[in-house]
Amino acid sequence: LRLVECPTEAPHVRHIFQTYANTHISLRQLAADLNRAGISSDYKVWTAIVVRRVLTDKTYTGTKTFGLKSSRK
């Protein structure tokens, strides 16, 4: 399975990661900046929780795994 970058979302996701990594901005302030810039999300508005979901999403962080099975005893 190959993941393909979404050309409309990728610049915004990169912006979120770069801004959070390179500044002392809070998640709340970053969300406010995204809303002020008119950047859309899957939700109605950006909130600190939505920004945190992007920053911890396994697809975006490169830690997504496929084909793992869990075993319970």
Torsion 9-6-58-42 (CA) sign: positive
Please answer whether residues 50 and 32 qualify as being in contact, where contact means their C-beta atoms are separated by less than 8 angstroms: no
pTM for this one? 0.80
Q: What is the pLDDT of residue 55?
A: 96
Predicted confidence (pLDDT) per residue in 15-55, tens digit: 999 999 999 999 999 999 999 999 988 888 999 999 999 99
- In this predicted structure, what is the pLDDT of residue 39? 92
- For every residue of 5-62, DSSP letters joined together read --TTTHHHHHHHHHHHHHS---HHHHHHHHHHTT---SSSS--HHHHHHHHH-HHHHT
Position 73 confidence tier, pLDDT thresholds 50, 70, 90: low
